[in-house]
Amino acid sequence: MQPSTAERIARLSAHISPSNLQMGESSMLERANCRAKGGAPGFKVAILGAAGGIGQPLAMLMKMNPLVSVLHLYDVVNSPGVTADISHMDTGAVVRGFLGQKELEAALTGMDLVVIPAGVPRKPGMTRDDLFNINAGIVRTLCEGIAKCCPNALVNLISNPVNSTVPIAAEVFKKAGIYDPKKLLGVTMLDVVRANTFVAEVLGLDPREVDVPVVGGHAGVTILPLLSQVKPPCSFTPEETEFLTKRIQDGGTEVVQAKAGAGSATLSMAYAAVKFADLCLRGLRGDAGIVACAYVDSKVTELPFFASKVRLGRGGAEEVYQLGPLNEYERIGLEKAKQELATSIQKGVSFIKK
């Protein structure tokens, strides 16, 4: 005899554990009993810090990316709610949530790409370096997890100060014996996104038609837009060069001040992070000619890390491009950038080595 509706509901309800409910598996029919098999082709991506100001819109945009088949959302707070919410989007990626240190390993196992926006943001009056004391430890812990659970994954590091957190990550990976310099990428895409936007405004062009290389690092004078190499080819007056360089270098501070204590760039950063992650995934897929700026292990200058254009492929940043010809203004900017970068890199390295 067929069970009554009440009996069926009672039986199905018994399968729903509180943690599944938290993680968004609240349907009356347990996941295991659904017909969906999952396993669509694509890449497995984890976001660490997924419940934050960047993490949430980043998770939403990654769930919309057709190259992603599995999306793991990890945070130390609120990841169940974000996961439940994002998992209802009718796009291909399967979404799973992970909460707290004890679930970090499960979040990371099997991942192809790990994107890290975990850590505290700036308030007005702070520099990115003021975040070092808190964020350095967070990045160390997360990278130890990556070294253990997905040592071959590509890492997109967003947490500030990027100029120091990337050297921290490299030292953690070296210590674990798994460091592949091609696979660790500091995300400087927001500087390029801003540069394209601000230059387009000055020139009266559509930002989508503009390509500005931004090299160096990701803080103040270390952010060095190469306005002499803008595409389409164009020229700037000295006043325009000064105005644009300063605005690009201070773009983050402009947002921090406008948010007046409520954090730093989150929405434009999520956009930039997804733009960059998408290029990384296309590279992993084997697409040809994928080029983007990133802060990487580098021999372009005498410094061990530097942001410049890189070619993204199956192995990560497979080629790091030289800077190309610089004008006098950019040569002076480069010297200032290198001075500050050297200190930030050393600070990151000695945080792990000490």
Ligand X SMILES: NC(=O)C1=CN([C@@H]2O[C@H](COP(=O)(O)OP(=O)(O)OC[C@H]3O[C@@H](n4cnc5c(N)ncnc54)[C@H](O)[C@@H]3O)[C@@H](O)[C@H]2O)C=CC1
Can you give the binding site for ligand X, defined by CB under 6 A? 48-49, 51-55, 75-77, 117-122, 131, 135, 138, 141-142, 158-160, 162, 187, 190, 218, 263-266, 269
- Exactly one of 155, 224, 256, 349 binds ligand OAA (CB under 6 A); that residue is 256
DSSP state of 103: G
The smaller minimum CB distance to ligand X, of residues 92 and 97, is found at 97
Query: Least Å distance between CB 66 and ligand X?
Result: 25
Compute the Cα dihedral for 165, 166, 169, 175 and give only its sign: negative
- Exactly one of 83, 87, 264, 298 binds ligand OAA (CB under 6 A); that residue is 264
Q: One of 15, 72, 88, 218 is an active-site residue; which one? A: 218
Is 218 among the catalytic positions?
Answer: yes
Q: Which two tokens stand for residue 112?
A: 């192809």
Which residue spans within 258-304 are E strands per DSSP?
A: 290-297
Annotated binding-site residue? 159:
yes
| Under rule CB under 6 A, residue 128 binds ligand OAA | yes
| Under rule CB under 6 A, residue 225 binds ligand OAA | no
Which residue spans within 128-262 are E strands per DSSP?
A: 154-157, 184-186, 214-216, 223-225
Q: What is the contact mask toward ligand OAA in residues 88 to 127, using x (rule: CB under 6 A)?
A: ---------------------------------xx-----
Annotated binding-site residue? 10:
no
Classified as helix, coil or strand, 58 is: helix
Annotated binding-site residue? 53:
yes
Q: What share of the chain is helix, strand, coil (3-state, %, to 5)?
A: 50, 15, 35
Taking CA 222 as the corner, what is the angle to CA 115 and CA 214, rounded to the nearest 5 degrees? 65
CA-CA-CA-CA dihedral for 300, 181, 275, 322, to nearest 10: 10
Classified as helix, coil or strand, 312 is: strand
User: Which one of ligand OAA, ligand X, none interacts with residue 77, CB within 5 to 8 A by kind?
Assistant: ligand X
Query: Least Å distance between CB 204 and ligand OAA?
Result: 25
Cβ atoms within 10 Å, residue 213: 24
User: Which one of ligand X, ligand OAA, none interacts with residue 52, CB within 5 to 8 A by kind?
Assistant: ligand X
Report how far residue 222's alpha carbon sits from residue 218's, in angstroms, rounded to the nearest whole number. Answer: 6
User: Which one of ligand X, ligand OAA, none interacts with residue 341, CB within 5 to 8 A by kind?
Assistant: none
Query: Least Å distance between CB 266 and ligand OAA?
Result: 9
Contact 348, 165 (CB under 8 A): yes
Contact 293, 308 (CB under 8 A): yes
Annotated binding-site residue? 260:
no
Determine the residue with CB nearest ligand OAA: 252
| Under rule CB under 6 A, residue 344 binds ligand OAA | no
Annotated binding-site residue? 49:
yes
Amino acid letter at 284? L
Report how far residue 233's alpha carbon sits from residue 222's, in angstroms, rounded to the nearest whole number. Answer: 24
The smaller minimum CB distance to ligand X, of residues 74 and 236, is found at 74
Q: What is the contact mask toward ligand OAA in residues 46 to 85, using x (rule: CB under 6 A)?
A: ----------------------------------------
Q: Helices 328-353 and 162-176, interaxial angle, to 10°? A: 40
Kindly list the residues in this chain that would bind ligand OAA in the complex (CB under 6 A).
121-122, 128, 160, 190, 251-253, 255-256, 264-265
Residues labelled catalytic: 218
